[in-house]
Amino acid sequence: MKTIWIADAAYLFNFGKTRPSGIDYLKLKNELERLNGGPIYESYYLNSIQDPTTETQNAFHSWIKSAPPKGPKMRIQLYRLKELHNRCPNCASQFDRQVQKGVDVGIATLIIKLAAKGSYDRLILSAGDGDFEDAISYVKSDLQKEIWINGAEASLSTDLQCYSDRVVWLDSMIPRIDKQS
């Protein structure tokens, strides 16, 4: 069975922040391959980045592209952060913050594009956002693909859970994917 893994990096980063040392992508991929019963055909990492990027970000992205045993060998799709300007309605002060732009659309497009091309039989999606429901529903119901959702108990949308053939809980994987273990 040909398996593809797509990782919403912001989702995994936020889950990793609940751990003192974070999660290790290579260990996570190894654990997903163990549960899959064989290798993952292709892996994708989608995220937003600052412009300009930092040396730390560049080093991490270089590592994540590296093949085992050095790294998890993931293809990277990066999107620019968008500046969001907000104004406080009570005090009229303005504050800015950066937000992701395009990552969820990129993930949904990749899910459908790869399924339509016949690139996979099984999709493992490390994400929790219910916004992926339409894409997941389509590839499962219309294209007959098997769906595994890899997410956290506290943040995995039930809209995704109901379409999954298997839910792989990040919480139960902690001892095997923790950076320090």
Residue ranges covered by each domain of the chain: 3-177
Give the confidence band of 92 by pLDDT, cuts at 50, 70, 90: low
Res 40 pLDDT > 90: yes
The bridge status of strand 42-49 relative to strand 75-80 is parallel
Give pairs for 116-120: CB < 8 Å, separation 24+: 116/143, 119/2, 119/4, 119/41, 119/42, 120/2, 120/3, 120/4, 120/41, 120/42, 120/145
E strand segments, 91-165: 94-99, 122-126, 146-151
User: In CATH, what is the architecture of 3-177?
Assistant: 3-Layer(aba) Sandwich (3.40)
d(CA 13, CA 50): 15
d(CA 44, CA 160): 19
Identify the pLDDT of residue 141.
96
Res 98 pLDDT > 60: no
Average pLDDT over residues 48-62: 87
Encoding tokens for residue 88?
Answer: 């406080």
